[in-house]
Structure 1
């Protein structure tokens, strides 16, 4: 078993891009290839099937997805296993070490969205929409406690907010204070564009259930960082 571990480490080392002891350089060895970070993003809220990953990573080919998954598995960032019956399908899931990268995503997200080049109207996946909430929630928010359900086409999540965190997991709940039944693009327009609920409901892109006052208070907890002025240092 020990010799197998050494072999895997040696295989990874043979593909080094940089002769550099910096931890950032090593991080790029692990996740610097195109699509790698986005694959990790899509696994941040739990295990996914190959087809689910491919569907939510618009533009990736099956061949490239296979290569990236194998590379991330060799690096110890994710693992694959088969779900028990009746599902009986193979899924990919982050290791505990893999999950520890979320603060990196949050820092990168807050940093990059300050750029004037950031376009919040581009498509995004349901997982990306959920992770953005955990990234952009106001650190000095009031002490609010609520359960929020999110229903997107093909995906459902439950968020539980308290004074310490916004925990989000996949699944449904009958005990939500507020339920957003919409698509990811409409949802981020409501949250970050502060668009009125009534307009989305009239357009048929939102079904809002539960306490509307709480829904507005929830949306007000989130904001994108201030954009950099062109030429600002």
Structure 2
């Protein structure tokens, strides 16, 4: 009797894991289905400054594992919040950037930063810090300026720059010093947090000597002359 040869079973393609859902017909629940996982909104915070490489994201998100970061980025791509693309030579590096849908989370993060500012009453020994993490509260303090331009912020922790006074396409802030800032603000984290809490304004910080404005031109004059919008 001839032995029957067992044919290998055809492998089925792996099904993508179904993301957890609240399964509620509610706009808030639907939003949390997309951004409610741990680390997702902080990844959005990083990408608001423009395209970033995976290694840069990992470096500026202390505490996130490589597996979790990769998983969240995949979820963000599938949810239409971010895209992955390759930069042209000589960089030739893969970067992640927010879609228009993802950039729509800016007011959400700005509101969260304002709501959470009172909890930053004391820096714990275990707290990591990056200068650009203060961009969102400072951006709110500069909202409504009459003149448009780029403001460079110089903190002891480092430097970043903001695009203020008008809708700017793409990123709303950037890492490091600006190429040609229209004005420079020299201040510390406490001054940023004070305006972020809404208890004082940038005008108060400048007038009280807790912030200093450098530069010439309409935007610098507006910051220096006490014409900033009050909360």
Q: CA deviation at 1:20?
A: 1.1
Structure label with greater radius of gyration? 2
Runs of 4 or more above 6 Å deviation: 195-200
C-alpha distance in structure 1 between counterparts of 2:38 and 2:70, whole Å: 13
- TM-aligned CA distance change 1:214 to 1:191, over 3 Å: farther
Q: CA deviation at 1:154?
A: 7.2
Q: 2:215 — aligned with what?
A: 210
Q: Any idea what SS the aligned residue of 2:119 has?
A: coil
C-alpha RMSD of matched pairs (Å): 3.8
More helix by share: 1
Query: Of residues 105, 118, 121 in structure 2, which corresponds to 1:119?
Result: 121
Q: 5+ unaligned residues in a row in structure 1: which ranges?
A: 1-6, 201-205, 224-233
Q: CA deviation at 1:82?
A: 1.0
- TM-aligned CA distance change 1:28 to 1:146, over 3 Å: closer
Q: 1:101 — aligned with what?
A: 105
Q: Contact between 1:47 and 1:94, CA under 8 Å: does it hold in 2?
A: yes
Q: 1:63 — aligned with what?
A: 67
C-alpha distance in structure 1 between counterparts of 2:222 and 2:192, whole Å: 17
Q: 2:139 — aligned with what?
A: 134
Is 2:20 the partner of 1:16? yes
- TM-aligned CA distance change 1:110 to 1:172, over 3 Å: closer
Q: CA deviation at 1:157?
A: 2.5
Q: 2:183 — aligned with what?
A: 178
C-alpha distance in structure 1 between counterparts of 2:134 and 2:46, whole Å: 11
Q: 2:89 — aligned with what?
A: 85
C-alpha distance in structure 2 between counterparts of 1:65 and 1:218, whole Å: 43
C-alpha distance in structure 2 between counterparts of 1:145 and 1:218, whole Å: 16
Q: CA deviation at 1:158?
A: 4.6
C-alpha distance in structure 2 between counterparts of 1:20 and 1:48, whole Å: 34
Q: Contact between 1:190 and 1:219, CA under 8 Å: does it hold in 2?
A: no
Count of residues paired in the alignment: 200
Q: Any idea what SS the aligned residue of 1:91 has?
A: strand
Q: CA deviation at 1:35?
A: 0.7
Is 2:156 the partner of 1:150? no
**TM-score scaled to structure 2, two decimals?**
0.65
- TM-aligned CA distance change 1:181 to 1:61, over 3 Å: farther
Q: 5+ unaligned residues in a row in structure 2: which ranges?
A: 1-12
More divergent stretch after superposition (102-111 vs 211-220): 211-220
Q: Any idea what SS the aligned residue of 2:52 has?
A: coil
